[in-house]
Amino acid sequence: MNTLKYLLAALLLPSLLLAGAARAEDADSDAALTLESLLEAVREGRVGDRAEDRERIARFRAEQAERERLLAEVRDRRAELEDRSAAMETRYEENDQAIGELEERLRERMGSLKELFGVLQQVASDAQGQFHVSLTRLEYPDRGDFLVDFAGRMGQANRLPAIAEIERLWFELQREMTASGKVMTVAHPVVTAEGAERTLPVTRIGLFNAVADGNYLQFIPETGRLVAFSRQPAERYTAGLKALERGGDGPVAVAVDPTRGQLLAILTQAPDLVERIAQGGYIGYAIIALGCAGVLLALVRLLLLWNETRVVHRQLRDTAKPRPDNPVGRIILAAREEDAPDVETLELRLGEAVLAEVPRLNRFLPLLKIIAAVAPLMGLLGTVTGMIVTFQAITLFGAGDPRLMAGGISQALITTVLGLCVAIPMLLLHNLVQGRAQGLTELLKQRAIALVAARAEARREAVAA
C-alpha cells in the first residue's frame, strides 16, 4: 500500500513541476524582455558616449597640437625680436656715440658761427612776435610763416642760413620800420558794431590805429580780423577821422593811440554826460530839476527887473508926465496926490509908497537863496546814500572786485558834483538878481527924497514970499 502511494506521488510530481515551470516560464519571459531592452539601451548609450568621448578627445588633441605649434611660432618670433632688439640697441649706442662725435666736430667747426644762430633765432622770434600783433599783418600776411620756420631752423643750429634768408629777414624788418611812418588805405573785411562783416577801405595810421568810415577799429591778433568798437570815444577824438580818410596834401589832426588800441578800449568804456547823470540816481535827477527851476526863475526875475529898469529910466527922462506902469511914476503920482502942507507927512507917504514897491522888486529872492543852500545838502545826501550802497556791496561780496562798489561810489561822487554845479550858479544868480532889485530900490529912495526936498524948497520959497 505504501508502495502504491509512493508510485502515485512519483507520477504526480513531474506533472506538478511541469505546470509550475510553465507558469514561471511565462512570468520570466515578460521580465526578460524588459531587462533585455534596458540592457540594450544601456549598451547603446555606453557605445554612443564612448564614441562622443573619443571624438572630443581627438578634437582636444588636435587643438592642443595647434596651440603647441602656435606657441612654438611665438617663441621663435620672440627669440627673433630679442635678437633684433639687441642688435638695434647696439646700433643705437653706436649711433648715439657717433652723433656725439659729429656734434662735437660740428661745434668745433662752427666756432663763432654758433653765436650767429642765436642772434638770428632771437631776432626772428622777436620780429615774429611784433609782426603778429602789427596792423601791417593785414597787408603782408605771409611773412609770419617764414619767420616761424626760420627761427625754428636757427634754433636747431644744424644748417647755416642762406644769404637770401638773411636778406629777407632784414627786408621784413626794414619794411616794418618804413610802414610805421606811413598812412595807407587798403580794402579789408571789417566786423561792424552790428556784427555784420563788410569790406571797407581801411586807413592804417602807422602801426598804431586803423580807421574805417570815421570810426576807430580794433585789431584782434588771435583771429587777424578788424572789429569796430561797440561804441566810439568822445567826439573830440574822432573829429578828424573823416578828413584823414578823404586824404589831402595838408596835415590833419587826429588822435593816435600809441598803445595800439588799449587806450581807445578804455575811452570807449568811459561814460558820457548822460550816463554820468544817470549814475546819480533819483537824488541826482532831483538836484538837476531843482537847479533847472532855480535858473529859470532867476532868468525870469532878471528879465522883469531889466524891463523895470528900462521903464524907470524912461520915466526919469520925463518926470513931468508920470505914468502908473513903473515904480518911479507911481511915487511921483503919490507925491502929487498928497495935499498935506507939512513935509513930514509927505515924507511918510513917499516912504510908504517905496516900501510898497520893495516886495514886488524882491519877489522870489528868498526862494533863489534857499535853492542855492539846499542843492549842496542834497548832494551830501546822495553821497551818504552812495556810501551806504558801497558798504552793503562790501558786506555781501567783499572788497576783492572794485567793480561791485563802482555803482555806490559813482552815486556818491556824482551827486556831490551835481549839488555844487547847481549851488554855485544859483548863488551867483541870486546875488545878481538881488543887486538889480537893490539898485531899483535905491533909485526909488533917491527919487522919493528928491521929491520931499523939492516940496520943502517950494514951501520955503512960499513962506519967504
Which of 309, 313, 290, 312 minimizes the C-alpha distance to 301?
309
Whether 408 contacts 393, CB under 8 Å = yes
How many other C-beta atoms lie within 10 A of the C-beta of residue 247? 11
Pairing of strands 225-228, 215-220: antiparallel
- From the number of C-beta atoms within 10 Å of its C-beta (0-12, 13-18, 19+), residue 140 rates as middle
Cell of 43: 549598451
Cell of 321: 508926465
Cell of 439: 539898485
The kind and range of the H/E element at 201 are strand 197-205
Distances (CA, A) of 169 to 121, 122, 163, 165, 315: 11, 12, 10, 6, 92
Question: How confident is the model at residue 140, as a pLDDT?
Answer: 86
Which of 296, 308, 300 minimizes the C-alpha distance to 437?
308
Question: How confident is the model at residue 420, as a pLDDT?
Answer: 93
Query: What's the average pLDDT block by block, 10 residues per block, for the chain (465 residues)?
Result: 44 45 47 62 64 82 86 90 90 88 74 73 86 86 84 75 86 89 86 85 88 87 86 83 79 84 82 82 92 95 91 81 81 73 75 84 90 92 84 73 67 88 94 91 85 77 69
363: left (phi over 0), alpha (psi -120 to 50) or beta: beta
Whether 319 contacts 335, CB under 8 Å = no
Q: If you ran DSSP here, which 8-state letter would residue 217 be given? A: E
Q: How far apart are the first and last CA of the chain?
A: 235
Whether 218 contacts 228, CB under 8 Å = yes
The HSE-up count of residue 365 (CA atoms within 13 Å, CB side) is: 16
Question: How confident is the model at residue 45, as a pLDDT?
Answer: 61
Distances (CA, A) of 103 to 89, 107, 118, 298, 346: 21, 6, 17, 93, 126
Residue with cell 505504501: 2
227-279 pLDDT tens trace: 888 888 888 888 888 888 887 777 888 888 888 888 888 888 777 788 888 88
What is the spatial distance between Cα 214 and Cα 198, in angstroms, rounded to a whole number? 15
Question: How confident is the model at residue 8, as a pLDDT?
Answer: 44
What is the spatial distance between Cα 337 and Cα 345, in angstroms, rounded to a whole number? 12
385-410 pLDDT tens trace: 888 877 777 777 776 666 666 666 77
Collapsing DSSP states into helix, strand and coil, what is residue 330?
Answer: helix
Question: How confident is the model at residue 461, as a pLDDT?
Answer: 73
Which of 223, 195, 192, 228 minimizes the C-alpha distance to 209?
228
Name residue 226's beta-bridge partners. 190, 219
Question: How confident is the model at residue 3, as a pLDDT?
Answer: 45
What is the spatial distance between Cα 319 and Cα 443, in angstroms, rounded to a whole number? 14
Q: According to DSSP H, which parts of 160-280 are helical?
A: 163-179, 235-238, 241-246, 262-269, 273-279
Which of 171, 202, 179 minimizes the C-alpha distance to 189?
202
How many other C-beta atoms lie within 10 A of the C-beta of residue 212? 22
How many other C-beta atoms lie within 10 A of the C-beta of residue 382? 26
Which of 143, 197, 135, 200 minimizes the C-alpha distance to 168?
143
Q: If you ran DSSP here, which 8-state letter would residue 321 be given? A: S
Name residue 379's beta-bridge partners. none
Question: How confident is the model at residue 215, as a pLDDT?
Answer: 87
What is the spatial distance between Cα 17 and Cα 19, in angstroms, rounded to a whole number? 5
What is the spatial distance between Cα 340 and Cα 29, in angstroms, rounded to a whole number? 184
